[in-house]
Amino acid sequence: MAAELTAHELIAKHRPTLDQALEAIRTRAYWSPHPEHPKAYGENGSLDMAAGKAAFDALLGSRLDLGQPGTDDWVGGETSPYGIELGVNYPHADLDELLPAMKAGQRAWRDAGAEMRAVVCLEILKRISDRTHEFAHAVMHTSGQAFMMAFQAGGPHAQDRGLEAVAYAYVEQVRTPDTAEWTKPQGKRDPLALTKQFTPVPRGVALVIGCNTFPTWNGYPGLFASLATGNAVLVKPHPRAVLPLALTVQVAREVLVEAGFDANLVALAAERPGEGIAKTLATRPEIRIIDYTGSTSFGDWLEANARQAQVYTEKAGVNTVLVDSAANYKGMLSNLAFSLSLYSGQMCTTPQNLLIPRDGIRTDEGPKTFDEVVADLARAVDGLLGDDARANALLGAIVNPDVKARLEAAAGLGEVALASREIANPEFPDAVVRTPVIVKLDGAKPDDEAAYMSECFGPVSFAVAVDSSAEAVELLRRTIREKGAMTVGAYTTDAEVEDAIQEVCLEESAQLSLNLTGGVYVNQTAAFSDFHGSGGNPAANAALCDGAFVANRFRVVEVRREAQGQA
Amino acid sequence: MAAELTAHELIAKHRPTLDQALEAIRTRAYWSPHPEHPKAYGENGSLDMAAGKAAFDALLGSRLDLGQPGTDDWVGGETSPYGIELGVNYPHADLDELLPAMKAGQRAWRDAGAEMRAVVCLEILKRISDRTHEFAHAVMHTSGQAFMMAFQAGGPHAQDRGLEAVAYAYVEQVRTPDTAEWTKPQGKRDPLALTKQFTPVPRGVALVIGCNTFPTWNGYPGLFASLATGNAVLVKPHPRAVLPLALTVQVAREVLVEAGFDANLVALAAERPGEGIAKTLATRPEIRIIDYTGSTSFGDWLEANARQAQVYTEKAGVNTVLVDSAANYKGMLSNLAFSLSLYSGQMCTTPQNLLIPRDGIRTDEGPKTFDEVVADLARAVDGLLGDDARANALLGAIVNPDVKARLEAAAGLGEVALASREIANPEFPDAVVRTPVIVKLDGAKPDDEAAYMSECFGPVSFAVAVDSSAEAVELLRRTIREKGAMTVGAYTTDAEVEDAIQEVCLEESAQLSLNLTGGVYVNQTAAFSDFHGSGGNPAANAALCDGAFVANRFRVVEVRREAQGQA
C-alpha cells in the first residue's frame, strides 16, 4: 500500500517550519509557529473553541482504542481536579507482546533518515496543533490548570517545546554527512582511498514517564527527541493525566501509518490503579532511553537502577528569589504576586523562598522594612486575586489531595503573612481552588531551615529573613547545590550584589531572571530561546532543550570500503 | 603580570587550524595538521630525531617537578617493556590540597570563553607536536609499541584526536549565542522584550584515567574535550605509562601560565605502586567528569559508583572478522595478517574471532576449504614477520606479563594453526617480542565458545569454524550484543551477505570495515573522519569523537533581564 503522505509532500509542507526552528535555536530570538490566542483556531482544518469543546465532551466515558497489539485489558478512571469523572478507558498492554511489536517498524524508520523523521514529527505536531482546543480541555481536566493556561501551556507552548526538540535532533543527526570520500596522500605511492557511509541509528525503545501537572509540556521534548532520532517511543502517562498523552499517541500513530510507517513506533502504556508499572518498564532491556518528570526520589531511583538506559530526569528543586533592593518596587511586587499565584504555585519553576534582609531594603519608594516588604507582597497577591473570576482564571484547581494537605500544613510552619483563601468556582463547584499562603521564617533558626530547605510543592512561599544580602547569596548557593533549582530570581540595584548573584548561578549552574517587573515571569520559559533547567544542579540532569538532550539518543554507525579503483 | 601569550596572538596563530578542523569534522574528508613522517620535524622550533632522543634520555632518572601544590611525595618506577628502567619520579598529590587548588583558576578559564579556550588548547597541542620525537620515545618505552608506531599513533594521531575533541567542544559551545534580544509581540500593547546572556559553564574537575597501551591517543580526547569546555583536568596515568601524560601535563601547565591562566587547571595524579587511587579519585565530589580506557570490570565499576560524575568509558570487546568470500584473496590475507600482527594485537581494535564457514569459501583463486584459509592466513603472517627487523618494527614488545601469560595459555585452547614465535630484539635484549598465535576453534562446541566469547587481549586470534555465513552473521550479532565490539570486519562478494552484515552492525551499533585489502586496516581509525567505537554496544559508552562526547561536559547558564526601555 502506497503511503498517503509522501516524503515529497511532507518535506514541501514542513521544511520551511523546520528551517525557521533551526534558525530560532541558533539566534534564540522570539519565534513560534503555534498561535497563543484561542480565536486563532477554527480555519484550515483546526478546531475552533466550540468544536474543541465538543470533541472533548465526546471523549468522556469513551474507550480510546488505539489499535495497539497486546492489549489485554482496558483501564482508566481519571477524575478532573475540577470534579468531573472523565471515564475514558485506555488499552492496558501485555509488554511481552507490545514491546517486540514496537521494534518491528524501527528499521524502516531508521532508514527513512533524519529529514523524513523530522517532517513526520512536524506533521504530528501540526495535527495536535489543529486540535489545540480539544487538548486544552484534556490538559485542564487532568492538571487542574485554568482553561487559558491549559490552552497555552498545554497547547502552543508544549508544541513549541516538541518542535524545538525535533530541530535539535535533526541538526545533531546531520552534523555527520551520509557519505564521505576519504583520500590520504602517500607520497609517491597511490593515495589510500575509502568510501564511508554514516548512518544515525536509534538506541531502541524510549520510555516517556509523564507527570500530572504538565503532561504535554513536559512530555513532548523527550517524546519528539527520541522519535526524531529513530527510536520507538512508549508513553507511560501519570495515572491522573492520561488523556492528553493518549490523544498525542493516537495522533502520532495515525500520522505514522499515513506516512507509510508502523503505527507501533509510538504506543501508550496505561496502568491499573496502584499497578506502578514505571519500575517494571524502566528496567526492561528493550528500554534504552527514559525521560522522566516528577519526584526526586523516583528520579534518583531511575538514575540508579535503569542502568541499561540513558536517563533524563527533571526532579524537584527549591527555587529562590533574592530581594536585595528594587528600582521599581511596585513592579517587583506585582511580578512576584503573579509568579506565586499562577496555577496555584504548582509549577516546578514557581519561587518558594523569598530571601529578604531582616533590616529591610532600599527601593524607589524609599527604604522598606522586612515586614513592610512581606506585607506589601501579601497585599499585591490579595489585590491580584481579589476578584473571584480573575482568581479562578489564574489559580486553576489544586491538582491532588497531597498538594492541598501540604498547603494546609504550611500555615503551621511560622507566622502567616498571607493566609490561603478558598475560592468558589461557579462552573465547577467541586474544584478545590486556593490562594497561596506566605509564611515568614527566620533564616538563622534551625527549625525554620528545615522548612525552607525542603521543597514544598504547591501554593506555599516562605519569606525568609536573612542578616544581609551577602548571607542571602551564600544561602542561595547552598540551596542550589544541595536541593537544586529550576529557577532563580533576584531584585537588586547594586552592581556588586548583582555580580555576586550571577557568579553563584554560573558556579552552581542555575538559570537566573534579574529584576523582572513586567509581563515576563521567573516561572515561565519560552521554547527556542530560554533553557528550562540547566542540567547542572540536582533539580534536573538535563536542560530543555540543548545538544546534550538529543546527542546520545542515537549513535552513528560507519561502514567503510575501499574506494572504487582501489586495490 | 601580563600574559606572555595574548588572546589576539593565539587566535591569529591557531584560528585557521581550528577552522580547518571544524570543516574536516563536517565533511569527514582526510585532513591532519600533524605530519606523520619523522623527517618532517626539526624546523620552526620542533625537535628533530636526535634532539628528541636526547630530550628523552635527559628525562631518564630525573624528577619531573611540575610545580604542583600539595605535592607530599615523589613516586615513579616505570620499567619499559623494552627492558630499561625509566627512573623518572613524579609528584604524588595530597588531594585535599591539590583539588581545591585546581578549582581556583576555573572562573577565569570559564570567563575566557570558548574561542580562547580552544586556541590555548591548540597551543598546547602545537608544543606537544614540536616535541613529537621526545613523546615517541616516552610512548614506546611505556606501551611497548615499536618506535614508528609510537611516533605516529602516540604523536600526530593522538594530537589529531585531541584537536578533533577541541573542535567538537568549540562548535558545541558556540551553538548558543553569547547574547540574544528576545521581543515577543503583544498585539496592540508594547511587546515583551528581554535581553539574555548565555554562558557555557564547566561541570567541575574532570578526571582522565589513562591506559597502558595508548596513553596519549586514548587520553587526549577526554583531556582536551574537558579542558576546552572550561573544566580543570586531573590526569591519572596508568602506573606503567606515566611519562607521556606527565609530559603532556607539563606542557599544558606551561602554556596555561603563559596565556595568563592558572597552571593548576591541569595537574597530574601519579600514585605509589598498588595505591589504586583511581577509585578514591573517581568518587571525590569535586570530580564531575571521568574519561576512562581499560578493563570492563573497572569501567563497569566507575559507571555504577561514580554517580556524581559524567562517565565516559572505553572497555573491552570481542572484535570479529567475518570471512564469507573474497574477490581478492591475497589482498585479504595480507591485510588480515597485518591487522593481527600490528603491536602484537594489543589494540582494542585488533580482530580476535575470524568466523569462517567450515565448508570453505569462494575466492578469486577458486574455492578454499576452512583449513586452507587458516593455513594461508598463517603463512601470510609468517611471511610478513619472517624478517626479524621487520617483525620487531611491526610487533613492538609485549606490554606486560599478563599479556604474555594469556598468549602462552592460548595455545592450549585448541588446535594451533600458527604458533607464536619469540623474536630477538638486538637493540633491547630484554624486550619480550612475540608473533601472534592463531588457534582453530569450532563455533558449535560449548568449550570452544567459552574461549572465543571472552576477550583475550593480546596477540591471540581464533579461527572459528561456523556452519554457514548466516550462522556467522548471527554469531556476530550475539558477540556484539553480549560482549561489545570496537571494530567489525567482513569479506564478502555476496550482496545478500553484505546486507545482512551491515544490518547487524546498524542494529547492534558497531563500526564496520568491508573488504579491506590494501593499506587501511580494520584496527586503524583516522581522526576527523572515522569514529572510534560507537558508544552503542558494551565495548564503550562513548565514541571518539562526536557531539555526545562533548555536549554534557558543560552546561549553559542563562541570565535574563528586561530590555532597556522596558517597564
pLDDT digits (tens, 9 = 90+) for A429-475: 999 999 999 999 999 999 999 999 999 999 999 999 999 999 999 99
Question: Is the confidence at residue A351, as pLDDT, over 60?
Answer: yes
Contact list, A27 vs chain B (CB under 8 Å): 177, 180
Q: Residue B557 and residue B554: Cα distance in Å, rounded?
A: 10
Q: Which of B106, B330, B552 best probes binding to A when mutated, by most A CB atoms within 10 angstroms?
A: B552
Contact B408, B425 (CB under 8 A): no
Confidence tier at A2 by pLDDT (50, 70, 90):
low
Indicate if A338 and A211 belong to the same structural domain: no
Q: Is the ipTM beyond the 0.95 threshold?
A: yes
Contact B294, B312 (CB under 8 A): no
pLDDT in tens, A476-498: 999 999 999 999 999 999 999 99
Indicate if A214 and A78 belong to the same structural domain: yes
Q: Residue B181 and residue B197: Cα distance in Å, rounded?
A: 9
pLDDT of the residue at B565:
65
Indicate if B289 and B420 belong to the same structural domain: no
Confidence tier at B3 by pLDDT (50, 70, 90):
confident
Average pLDDT over residues A392-417: 96
Q: Reading across the β-sheet that carries A179-186, which strands appear in turn? A: A179-186, A189-202, A554-562, B512-514, B488-491, B320-323, B353-357, B460-466, B437-442, B415-418
> Is B167 within the bounds of a domain?
yes
CATH number of the structural domain spanning residue B381: 3.40.309.10
Contact list, B558 vs chain A (CB under 8 Å): 511-512, 530-531
* C-beta neighbour count of B280 within 10 angstroms: 14
Indicate if A366 and A228 belong to the same structural domain: no
How much of chain A, in percent, has pLDDT values that exceed 90? 97
Of B26, B509, B547, the CB nearest to A201: B509
Confidence tier at A567 by pLDDT (50, 70, 90):
very low
Strands B353-357 vs B320-323: parallel, antiparallel or unpaired = parallel
The minimum CA-CA distance between A517 and chain B, rounded to whole Å, is 7
How much of chain A, in percent, has pLDDT values that exceed 70? 99
Q: Which of B199, B364, B506 best probes binding to A when mutated, by most A CB atoms within 10 angstroms?
A: B506
> Is A373 within the bounds of a domain?
yes
Indicate left, alpha or beta for A359 from its phi (over 0: left) and psi (-120 to 50: alpha): alpha
Consecutive H or E run containing B117: helix B113-130
How much of chain B, in percent, has pLDDT values that exceed 70? 99
Average pLDDT over residues A521-545: 97
> How many residue pairs bridge chain A and chain B with CB atoms within 8 Å of each other?
196
Q: Does A471 touch chain B (CB under 8 A)?
A: no
CATH number of the structural domain spanning residue A547: 3.40.605.10
> Is A356 within the bounds of a domain?
yes
Domain count, chain A: 2
Kindly identify which residue of chain A lies nearest to residue B560, measuring between CA atoms.
Answer: A513
Q: Residue B406 and residue B399: Cα distance in Å, rounded?
A: 12
Of B182, B199, B536, the CB nearest to A28: B182
pLDDT in tens, B54-91: 999 999 999 999 999 999 999 998 999 999 999 999 99
Is B557's CB within 8 Å of A331's CB?
Answer: no
Average pLDDT, chain B: 97
Of A29, A328, A515, the CB nearest to B180: A29
Indicate if B344 and B280 belong to the same structural domain: no
Indicate if B379 and B448 belong to the same structural domain: yes
Indicate if B302 and B429 belong to the same structural domain: no
Indicate if B124 and B70 belong to the same structural domain: yes
Of B196, B507, B567, the CB nearest to A331: B567
Confidence tier at B4 by pLDDT (50, 70, 90):
confident
Question: Is the confidence at residue B326, as pLDDT, over 50?
Answer: yes
Contact list, A168 vs chain B (CB under 8 Å): none
Kindly identify which residue of chain A lies nearest to residue B192, measuring between CA atoms.
Answer: A519
The minimum CA-CA distance between B121 and chain A, rounded to whole Å, is 22
Q: Does B50 touch chain A (CB under 8 A)?
A: no
Whether the bond between A505 and the residue before it is cis, its omega within 30 degrees of 0, is no
The minimum CA-CA distance between A308 and chain B, rounded to whole Å, is 10
pLDDT of the residue at B567:
44
> Is A126 within the bounds of a domain?
yes
> Is A286 within the bounds of a domain?
yes
Indicate if B378 and B441 belong to the same structural domain: yes
Residues 299-358, chain B, touching A (beta carbon < 8 A): 303-304, 307, 328, 331
Q: Indicate the DSSP class of residue B345.
A: G
Confidence tier at A565 by pLDDT (50, 70, 90):
low
Of A303, A529, A543, the CB nearest to B182: A529
Q: Residue B20 and residue A458: Cα distance in Å, rounded?
A: 53
Whether the bond between B545 and the residue before it is cis, its omega within 30 degrees of 0, is yes
pLDDT in tens, A169-219: 999 999 999 999 999 999 999 999 999 999 999 999 999 999 999 999 999
How much of chain B, in percent, has pLDDT values that exceed 90? 97
Average pLDDT over residues A406-425: 96
At B159, list the grid cell. 594530537
pLDDT in tens, B413-432: 999 999 999 999 999 999 99
Task: Return the biggest CA–CA distance within chain A.
Answer: 89
Please list, in sequence order, all residues whose beta carbon lies within 8 angstroms of the beta carbon of residue B6, skipping any fewer than 6 positions away.
none
Is A557's CB within 8 Å of B536's CB?
Answer: yes
Is B558's CB within 8 Å of A516's CB?
Answer: no
Contact A462, A353 (CB under 8 A): yes
Q: Does A178 touch chain B (CB under 8 A)?
A: no
Question: Is the confidence at residue B1, as pLDDT, over 70?
Answer: no
Question: Is the confidence at residue B472, as pLDDT, over 90?
Answer: yes
> Is A34 within the bounds of a domain?
yes
At B426, list the grid cell. 638486538
Placement of cell 542578616 in the chain: A467
Indicate if B232 and B166 belong to the same structural domain: yes
Of B505, B517, B556, the CB nearest to A546: B556
Q: Indicate the DSSP class of residue A206.
A: E
Of B520, B529, B534, the CB nearest to A555: B534
* C-beta neighbour count of B263 within 10 angstroms: 22
Contact list, B107 vs chain A (CB under 8 Å): 503, 507
Q: Does B495 touch chain A (CB under 8 A)?
A: no
Confidence tier at A564 by pLDDT (50, 70, 90):
confident
Average pLDDT over residues A77-93: 97
Owning domain of residue B66 = 58-176+192-315+543-557
Average pLDDT, chain A: 97
Q: Residue B79 and residue B271: Cα distance in Å, rounded?
A: 15
pLDDT in tens, A286-311: 999 999 999 999 999 999 999 999 99
Of B194, B519, B534, the CB nearest to A557: B534
Of A29, A555, A562, the CB nearest to B181: A29
The minimum CA-CA distance between B250 and chain A, rounded to whole Å, is 27
**Phi and psi (nearest 5°) for A278?**
-60, -40
pLDDT of the residue at B273:
86
Is B201's CB within 8 Å of A503's CB?
Answer: no
> Is A162 within the bounds of a domain?
yes
pLDDT in tens, B104-135: 999 999 999 999 999 999 999 999 999 999 99
* C-beta neighbour count of B561 within 10 angstroms: 17
Average pLDDT over residues B405-411: 96
Is B530's CB within 8 Å of A560's CB?
Answer: yes
Q: Give the 3-state secondary structure of B425-452.
A: CCCCCCCCEECCEEEEEECCCHHHHHHH
Contact A503, A473 (CB under 8 A): no
pLDDT in tens, B428-448: 999 999 999 999 999 999 999
Indicate if A299 and A364 belong to the same structural domain: no
Q: Does B199 touch chain A (CB under 8 A)?
A: yes
Q: Give the 3-state secondary structure of A170-192.
A: HHHHCCCCCEEEEEEEECCEEEE
**Phi and psi (nearest 5°) for A294?**
165, -150
Contact B247, B134 (CB under 8 A): yes
Placement of cell 506555599 in the chain: A460
> Is B242 within the bounds of a domain?
yes
Please list, in sequence order, all residues whose beta carbon lies within 8 angstroms of the beta carbon of residue B564, skipping any fewer than 6 positions away.
B195
Q: Does A198 touch chain B (CB under 8 A)?
A: yes
Indicate if A37 and A168 belong to the same structural domain: yes
Contact list, A176 vs chain B (CB under 8 Å): 28, 546
